[in-house]
Amino acid sequence: MHHVTLPDTRLAVHTRGSGLPLVLLHGFPLDHTMWAGQDPLADAVRLIVPDQRGFGASDGPPPESIAQLADDVVALLDALHVAEPAVVCGLSMGGYVAEHVAARHPDRVRAIVLVDTKLEADTPEARAARAKLAATVERVGQDAVAEAMIPNLLARSEAARANPARPLIEAHLRRTIHATSVETITTALAALAARPDMIERMRAVAAPVLLVVGEEDTITPPECMERAERVLQQPRLLIMPRCGHLAPLEDPATFNAAVLAFLGEVGAGAAGRTAAGR
Ligand code: MLT
């Protein structure tokens, strides 16, 4: 983990491996550690896993918009001297950011992985729920977010609860949410609520897109990714059984295999060379 200075902030970033750049963008209100199970991907690619502004060990100010977070990704690639187009993968809020990177900076994107996310803007009800949560967080602190979110982040079926890693995952999420500042949480909630609908902009994106969603995701259920599949030019869709909103944490082996297969299929990086027998 090291810090990289951007024009108006400083991001903490974990980098490992070489070759095709693969950027992993965390969800709200988490940090880069949610991608620990993806570390083995560094055997095939150059992993770039930042804490987005305001989150984890990165400096603020907290994000004013999803577009700002997308521009941070490109500034980070520049600061790391990554000139070749990257694969940009994001979960939930990170997915919204990945969509904005693809729409705003298409020449920087080789392929996209959207995980447990959606293309649509918030409904008025979702916006109102975010405003209410922000007000509660102002009053009682991060506990409110942990209590409101953790039960919805993970799959609830008996089979999913039997995952031996489950207590560790829950404890990790609780720790991460507690470590996120109230200011970041409330500012990011406003940015999430204000994000635009991306359907038309994503329809225009030519890069291949892997869509991944937990079968038991209740925050962005499989229908969200099925709707995205109907809009995108080059989609592949994977619905992961026994997973909720955090599929890469809940079943890292299946997720990682899907990413490597996708990179092979689209001829990207080391995985592509292996798949093509070169
Ligand atoms: C996330 O996991 O990043 C959030 O659930 C995103 C959202 O609330 O839309």
The Å distance, Cα 85 to ligand 1 centre, comes to: 26
The Å distance, Cα 28 to ligand 1 centre, comes to: 5
For the CA of 27, the closest atom of ligand 1 is: 3
Q: Look-up: residue for tokens 């880069």?
A: 32
Say what the pLDDT of residue 275 is. 34
For the CA of 122, the closest atom of ligand 1 is: 9
Going through the chain in order, the beta strands assigned E by DSSP cover 2-6, 9-16, 21-25, 46-50, 86-91, 109-115, 209-214, 235-240
Q: How confident is the prediction for the chain on average, in pLDDT? A: 94
CB 111 within 8 A of CB 222: no
CA distances from 93 to 11, 114, 266 (A): 17, 10, 25
By most ligand atoms within 8 Å of CB, the mutation choice from 192, 249, 250 for ligand 1 is 192
Residues lining ligand 1, Cβ inside 6 A: 27-28, 92-93, 192, 219, 245
Region for 87 from its dihedrals, namely left if φ exceeds 0, alpha if ψ lies in -120 to 50, beta otherwise: beta
Token pair belonging to 128: 């109102």
The Å distance, Cα 102 to ligand 1 centre, comes to: 19
Q: Where does the pLDDT of residue 276 fall: very low under 50, low under 70, confident under 90, or very high at 90 and above?
A: very low
Q: What is the pLDDT of residues 207-233, one digit of tens each?
A: 999 999 999 999 999 999 999 999 999
The Å distance, Cα 192 to ligand 1 centre, comes to: 8
Q: Look up residue 52 and give its DSSP letter.
A: P
Token pair belonging to 235: 């989609």
The Å distance, Cα 274 to ligand 1 centre, comes to: 35
Distance between CA 243 and CA 124 in Å, rounded?
28
What does the CA dihedral 11, 17, 19, 20 come to, rounded to 10 degrees?
-50
Kindly state the percentage of the chain with pLDDT values over 70. Answer: 96
Q: Look up residue 234 and give its DSSP letter.
A: S
CA-based nearest residue to 249, from 16, 17, 46, 37: 37
What values do phi and psi take at 89, rounded to 5? -120, 130
Q: What is the pTM of this model?
A: 0.95
Would you say the C-alpha torsion 167, 170, 176, 178 has a positive or negative sign?
A: negative
Average pLDDT over residues 67-71: 98
The Å distance, Cα 43 to ligand 1 centre, comes to: 29
For the CA of 130, the closest atom of ligand 1 is: 8
Average pLDDT over residues 187-195: 98
Token pair belonging to 257: 């295999």
CA distances from 154 to 51, 129, 151, 211 (A): 21, 20, 6, 18
Say what the pLDDT of residue 111 is. 97
